């Protein structure tokens, strides 16, 4: 989630109190005095997502904190946790705190404009927030410092300070739903019947049109899932494939998005690993790849990682020819022989061995 604090924030109708993504000033008109909330200051380690249990919307209620009887301003409506919200009718020099309700769903509306409580936008039933937090005041979490309110400055947008981060809910597992339904099921000429998914130490075989969920994952990590698509016949060879990736947030079932299905694949060669210490004296490297009755030659400038894409799925073989510097002259260096199977939509790691006598 990327929130740009330097982007302009404006204000909406006074009855609503909060607003989003407006323009701060026009021409020579002085900028308004605003107090703003930014989700990056209270989401903590939780990512804004549409996955099960993730933050989706939030409602901010601003309070004047400069008196013994603080005035509560009208609440903002439910705002996407990918957006900031700002408040108008702000008094320069006044101190403000905030109470924030965070929801894990987007089908919400306020009971009435400016009212903090939310109801289901369809049924009208009351919806309790999934998390609550605050800015500039103590809100039930241990802290080594006293939270400070935010002081408004004339003709400037000031963001709320000292916001407590919401915490993952202990009862909610950490995981990712792999969005296989976004891939479709082929067409009449090339239908897809089933999918084989591998990743996070698990495997699933499901009918096309189904998602899979990997739970019991570690929060804050990147995960990758390989997908192989099979036709309606009983063939054991996939006709297409792809890769899906996602990042976990603690206590959230997030989503892993998938690249488009492809029928071709790629091979990754780690030349530095396979050639070894001779990399320092090698002059040239030529990679010859044979696949589907086709021969491809690629000249490589130096040892490192080389990925060849657009290869036809199926068996392949490769030969790496090298020349080395010896006594100011070039001589034939080691030859590597590689082989394996190209898988549609995936990048496979080449398996190489040094040819005898080289």
The token pair that represents 264 in the structure block: 């071709």
At 143 the pLDDT is: 53
User: Mean pLDDT across the chain, nearest whole number?
Assistant: 83
Partners of 221 in beta bridges: none
At 28 the pLDDT is: 64
| 126-144 confidence digits (pLDDT tens) | 888 888 899 998 775 545 5
Domains 175-258 and 264-354 equal at CATH topology level: yes
At 15 the pLDDT is: 38
Global model pTM greater than 0.75 = no
- How far is 150 from 148, CA to CA, in rounded Å? 7
In which band, very low, low, confident or very high, does the pLDDT at 13 lie, cut at 50, 70 and 90? very low
- Residue 24 pLDDT exceeds 50: no
Listed residue (1, 41, 79, 43) closest to 167, CA to CA: 43
- Residue 356 pLDDT exceeds 90: no
At 325 the pLDDT is: 74
- Residue 21 pLDDT exceeds 70: no
Residue 174 burial class via C-beta count within 10 angstroms: exposed 0-12, middle 13-18, buried 19 and up: buried
Average pLDDT over residues 226-240: 87
Average pLDDT over residues 25-39: 82
At 156 the pLDDT is: 95
| 257-271 confidence digits (pLDDT tens) | 999 999 999 999 888
| 166-187 confidence digits (pLDDT tens) | 876 656 678 899 999 999 888 8
In total, the chain counts a number of residues equal to 358
| 78-103 confidence digits (pLDDT tens) | 999 999 999 998 999 999 999 999 99
DSSP sequence for 34-101: EEEE-GGGT-TTPPP-SSBT---EEEEEEEE-SSSSPPBPPPP--EETTS-EEE-SPPTT-EEEEEEE
The token pair that represents 286 in the structure block: 């030529």
In which band, very low, low, confident or very high, does the pLDDT at 51 lie, cut at 50, 70 and 90? low
| 295-339 confidence digits (pLDDT tens) | 878 887 778 888 888 888 889 998 988 887 766 777 888 888 988
Going from N- to C-terminal start, the domains of the chain cover 1-167, 175-258, 264-354
- Residue 121 pLDDT exceeds 90: yes
What is the third-level CATH fold of 264-354? Immunoglobulin-like (2.60.40)
User: How many other C-beta atoms are found inside a 10 Å radius of the C-beta of residue 141?
Assistant: 12
> Of 2.40.50, 3.10.450, 2.60.40, 1.10.3470, which CATH number belongs to 175-258?
2.60.40
At 297 the pLDDT is: 81
| 100-113 confidence digits (pLDDT tens) | 999 999 999 999 99
At 99 the pLDDT is: 92
- Higher pLDDT: 276 or 229? It is 229
């Amino acid at each position: 989630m990327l929130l740009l604090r330097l982007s302009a924030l404006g204000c909406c109708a006074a009855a609503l109190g909060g607003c989003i993504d407006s323009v701060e000033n026009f021409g020579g008109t002085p900028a308004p005095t605003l107090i703003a909330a930014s989700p990056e200051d209270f989401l903590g380690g939780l990512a804004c997502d549409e996955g099960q249990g993730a933050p989706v919307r939030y409602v901010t209620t601003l309070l004047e904190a400069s008196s013994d009887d603080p005035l509560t301003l009208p609440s903002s409506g439910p705002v996407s946790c990918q957006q900031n919200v700002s408040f108008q009718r702000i008094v320069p020099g006044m101190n403000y705190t905030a109470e924030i309700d965070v929801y894990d769903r987007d089908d919400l509306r306020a009971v009435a404009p400016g009212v903090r409580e939310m109801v289901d936008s369809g049924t009208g039933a009351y919806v309790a927030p999934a998390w609550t937090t605050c800015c500039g005041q103590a809100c039930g979490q241990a802290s080594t410092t006293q939270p400070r309110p935010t002081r408004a400055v004339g003709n400037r947008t000031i963001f709320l300070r000292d916001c407590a981060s919401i915490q993952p809910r202990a009862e909610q597992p950490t995981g990712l739903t792999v969005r296989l339904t976004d891939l479709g099921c082929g067409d009449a000429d090339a239908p897809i019947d089933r999918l084989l998914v591998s990743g996070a130490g698990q495997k699933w075989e499901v009918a096309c049109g189904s998602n899979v969920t990997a739970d019991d994952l570690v929060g804050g990590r990147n995960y990758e899932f390989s997908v192989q698509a099979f036709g309606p016949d009983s063939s054991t060879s996939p006709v297409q494939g792809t890769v899906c990736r996602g990042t976990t947030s603690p206590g959230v079932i997030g989503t892993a998005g998938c690249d488009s299905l492809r029928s071709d694949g790629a091979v990754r060669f780690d030349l530095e690993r396979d050639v070894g210490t001779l990399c320092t004296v090698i002059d040239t490297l030529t990679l010859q790849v044979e696949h589907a009755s086709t021969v491809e030659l690629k000249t490589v400038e130096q040892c490192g990682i080389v990925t060849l894409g657009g290869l036809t799925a199926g068996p392949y073989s490769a030969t790496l020819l090298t020349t080395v510097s010896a006594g100011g002259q070039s001589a034939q260096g080691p030859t590597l022989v590689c082989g394996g199977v190209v898988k549609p939509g995936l990048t496979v790691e080449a398996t190489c061995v040094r040819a005898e006598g080289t």
